[in-house]
Chains A and B, each alone.
Chain A
Amino acid sequence: MTDATIKASRPAAGMTDHSEGMAYLETLPRKVVTVYMPLAIILVVLLFPFYWMVITSIKPDSQLLDLENSNPLWVSQPTFQHIYKLLFESAYPRWLMTTMMVATAATFLSIFASVLAAYAITRIRYKGAATVGGLIFLAYLVPPSILFIPLSAVIHAYGLFDTPFALILTYPTILIPFCTWLLMGYFKTIPYELEECALMDGASRWQILLKIVLPLAIPGLISAFIFAFTLCWNEFIYALTFISSDHNKTVPVAIISNFVDGDIFRWGSLMAGALIGSLPLVILYAFFVEHYVSAMTGAVKE
Chain B
Amino acid sequence: MMASASIVTPSEPGLFERLKVNRNWLGFWFMVPAMIFLLFFLAWPLLLGMWMSMTDMRIGRGGSFVGFENYQFLLDDRDFLRATAFTLTYTAVASVFKFAIGLYLAILLNNNMPFKAFIRAIVLIPFIVPTVLSAVAFWWIFDTQFSIFTWLLQQWGFLGKDQFINWLGDPFLAQCSVIFANIWRGIPFIAITLLAGLQTVSPSLYEAATLDGATGWQRFRFVTYPLLTPIIAVVMTFSVLFTFTDFQLIWAMTRGGPVNATHLMATLSYQRGILGGRLGEGAAIATAMVPFLLAAIMISWFGLQRRKWQQGENND
> Residues on A close to B: CB < 8 A?
2-3, 6-7, 10, 13-17, 19-23, 31, 35-36, 38-39, 42-43, 45-47, 49-50, 52-53, 56, 64-65, 67, 72-73, 109-110, 112-114, 116-117, 119-121, 124-127, 129, 132, 136, 139, 141-154, 169-170, 172-173, 176-177, 180, 205, 230, 233-234, 236-237, 240-241, 251-253, 255-256, 264, 267, 270-271, 273-275, 277-278, 281-282, 285-286, 289, 292-293, 296-297, 300-301
Asked, given contacts A22-B210, A252-B130, whether A147 binds B293 with beta carbons under 8 Å apart, the answer is no
Chain B positions within 8 Å of A39 at CB level: 105, 108-109, 119
At the interface, yes or no: B94 with Cβ under 8 Å from chain A?
no
Whether A270 contacts B140 by the Cβ 8 Å rule is yes
In the complex, how many angstroms separate the beta carbon of B279 from the nearest chain A beta carbon? 6
Partner of B120, one of A6, A46, A136, A149: A6
In the complex, how many angstroms separate the beta carbon of A50 from the nearest chain B beta carbon? 7
Chain A positions within 8 Å of B27 at CB level: 120-121, 124-127, 129
Q: Is the interface of B mostly helix, strand, loop or mixed?
A: helix
Instruction: Return the chain A residue nearest B133 by Cβ.
Output: A274
Q: Which of B10-18, B72-80, B238-246 contacts A (4 or more CB under 8 A)?
A: B238-246
Interface string of B238-268 (1 = CB under 8 A from A): 1001101111100110000000000000100
CA distance A19 to B206 in the complex (A): 10
In the complex, how many angstroms separate the beta carbon of A182 from the nearest chain B beta carbon? 13
CA distance A119 to B290 in the complex (A): 31
Chain B positions within 8 Å of A38 at CB level: 104, 108
Whether A45 contacts B151 by the Cβ 8 Å rule is no
The 8 listed contacts between A and B (C-beta, < 8 Å) are: A31-B113, A35-B111, A47-B125, A113-B37, A147-B49, A237-B270, A281-B130, A285-B125
Whether A13 contacts B33 by the Cβ 8 Å rule is no
Chain A positions within 8 Å of B282 at CB level: 149
In the complex, how many angstroms separate the beta carbon of B2 from the nearest chain A beta carbon? 12
Whether A297 contacts B193 by the Cβ 8 Å rule is yes
Whether A114 contacts B34 by the Cβ 8 Å rule is yes
Whether A271 contacts B137 by the Cβ 8 Å rule is yes
The 9 A-B pairs of least Cβ separation, nearest first, read A126-B27, A120-B30, A21-B203, A143-B245, A145-B266, A150-B49, A113-B33, A252-B132, A117-B34
Chain A positions within 8 Å of B241 at CB level: 141, 143
CA distance A252 to B136 in the complex (A): 10
Chain B positions within 8 Å of A300 at CB level: 193, 196, 231, 234-235, 238
In the complex, how many angstroms separate the beta carbon of A39 from the nearest chain B beta carbon? 5
Whether A173 contacts B42 by the Cβ 8 Å rule is yes
Kindly count the residue-residue contacts between A and B in the assembled complex, taking CB atoms under 8 Å apart: 307
Partner of B206, one of A10, A22, A255, A282: A22
Whether B133 contacts A296 by the Cβ 8 Å rule is no
At the interface, yes or no: B315 with Cβ under 8 Å from chain A?
no
Partner of B270, one of A2, A19, A35, A241: A241
CA distance A141 to B234 in the complex (A): 12
Whether A169 contacts B124 by the Cβ 8 Å rule is no
At the interface, yes or no: B217 with Cβ under 8 Å from chain A?
no
Asked, given contacts A50-B125, A139-B42, whether A42 binds B101 with beta carbons under 8 Å apart, the answer is yes
Whether B34 contacts A113 by the Cβ 8 Å rule is yes
Chain B positions within 8 Å of A52 at CB level: 137, 140-141, 148
Chain A positions within 8 Å of B193 at CB level: 296-297, 300
At the interface, yes or no: B88 with Cβ under 8 Å from chain A?
no
CA distance A229 to B231 in the complex (A): 25
Asked, given contacts A129-B27, A274-B133, whether A22 binds B203 with beta carbons under 8 Å apart, the answer is yes
Whether B188 contacts A14 by the Cβ 8 Å rule is no
In the complex, how many angstroms separate the beta carbon of A168 from the nearest chain B beta carbon? 11
Interface string of B173-213 (1 = CB under 8 A from A): 00000000000100111001100100111111011001000
Instruction: Return the chain B residue nearest A209 by Cβ.
Output: B30
Whether B111 contacts A256 by the Cβ 8 Å rule is no
At the interface, yes or no: B41 with Cβ under 8 Å from chain A?
yes
At the interface, yes or no: B96 with Cβ under 8 Å from chain A?
no
Chain B positions within 8 Å of A119 at CB level: 30
CA distance A291 to B123 in the complex (A): 15
CA distance A109 to B38 in the complex (A): 13
CA distance A147 to B105 in the complex (A): 34
In the complex, how many angstroms separate the beta carbon of B61 from the nearest chain A beta carbon? 12
CA distance A147 to B52 in the complex (A): 11
In the complex, how many angstroms separate the beta carbon of A236 from the nearest chain B beta carbon? 4
At the interface, yes or no: B156 with Cβ under 8 Å from chain A?
no
Asked, given contacts A35-B108, A180-B34, A236-B248, whether A43 binds B136 with beta carbons under 8 Å apart, the answer is no
In the complex, how many angstroms separate the beta carbon of A56 from the nearest chain B beta carbon? 7
CA distance A252 to B199 in the complex (A): 35
Asked, given contacts A3-B118, A205-B26, A237-B248, whether A255 binds B45 with beta carbons under 8 Å apart, the answer is no
In the complex, how many angstroms separate the beta carbon of B235 from the nearest chain A beta carbon? 6
CA distance A145 to B259 in the complex (A): 22
User: Which of B48, B187, B206 has the largest number of chain A CB atoms within 10 A?
Assistant: B48
Q: Which of B252-300 contact A (CB under 8 A)?
A: 252, 266, 269-270, 273-274, 279, 282-283, 286-287, 289-290, 293, 297
Asked, given contacts A6-B117, A46-B123, whether A274 binds B137 with beta carbons under 8 Å apart, the answer is yes
In the complex, how many angstroms separate the beta carbon of A279 from the nearest chain B beta carbon? 9
